[in-house]
């Protein structure tokens, strides 16, 4: 009578293959937060640039809302007709430094306005998420947007 089953060698071979596969998969999972943060910073940068271009081309102000807590009820009857877009920064810590150097930690939302002549409300956005940091600087005179990642990852 022949019994069905696996030999010890077959089981060890399968476990070795699974271990090798897990070494390839798990390092990529740990870097997922880093890539997500980078993508969200680039998204904010691109939206700010879009608002700048829209303001110059249309001759009307362009407004970007940076929303950190979308659950909070805002007492706004109608959104501004100049709103170009809204950036969802849920989970990201945001500090705003205005042109005069005053810093303010943003709890709910912040609006950046770009004007048709090229200027803006300006300031520096300091973003932080799980030890990662980045800054987005909006020049108040020409509206240029510059992003810098403040860590080496």
Q: pLDDT tens digit string along 29-48?
A: 555 566 788 999 999 999 99
Any domain includes 45: yes
d(CA 5, CA 1): 13
102 pLDDT band (50/70/90 cuts)? very high
User: Total domain count for the chain?
Assistant: 1
Q: Which residue has the higher pLDDT, 69 or 63?
A: 63
Q: CATH number of the domain that 65 lies in? A: 3.55.40.10
In a domain, 123, yes or no: yes
| Predicted local distance difference test score (pLDDT) of residue 152 | 60
The pLDDT value given to residue 92:
92
Residue 119 pLDDT exceeds 70: yes
Q: In this structure, is residue 10 part of a structural domain?
A: no
60 in a domain, yes or no?
yes
Q: So what's the pLDDT on residue 147?
A: 97
Q: Which helix (H) or strand (E) holds 83?
A: strand 83-88
Question: What is the value of pTM for the model shown?
Answer: 0.74
What value does the mean pLDDT take over residues 99-105? 91
Q: What is the pLDDT of residue 47?
A: 96
State pLDDT tens for residues 16-28.
Answer: 998 888 777 665 5
The CA dihedral of 42, 45, 51, 56, to the nearest 10 degrees, is -120
Task: Look at residue 11 and tell me if it is in a domain.
Answer: no
- Tell me, yes or no, whether 8 lies in a domain: no
Q: How confident is the model at residue 56 (pLDDT cuts 50, 70, 90)?
A: very high
Q: Which domain holds residue 144?
A: 32-71+79-149
Q: Residue 134 belongs to what H/E stretch?
A: strand 132-138
pLDDT beyond 90 at 110: yes
């Amino acid at each position: 009578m022949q019994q069905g089953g696996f030999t010890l060698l077959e089981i060890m071979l399968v476990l070795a293959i699974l271990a090798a596969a897990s070494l390839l998969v798990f390092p990529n999972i740990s870097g997922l937060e880093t890539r997500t943060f980078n993508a969200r910073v680039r998204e904010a940068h691109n939206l700010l640039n879009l608002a700048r271009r829209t303001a110059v081309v249309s001759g009307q102000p362009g407004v970007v809302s940076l929303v950190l807590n979308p659950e909070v009820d805002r007492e706004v009857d109608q959104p501004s007709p100049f709103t170009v877009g809204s950036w969802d920064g849920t989970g990201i810590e945001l500090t705003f430094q205005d042109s005069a150097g005053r810093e303010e930690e943003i709890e709910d939302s912040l609006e950046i306005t770009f004007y048709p002549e090229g200027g803006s409300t300006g300031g520096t956005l300091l973003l932080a998420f799980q030890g990662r940091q980045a800054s987005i600087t909006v020049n108040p005179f020409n509206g240029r947007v510059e992003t810098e990642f403040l860590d080496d990852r």
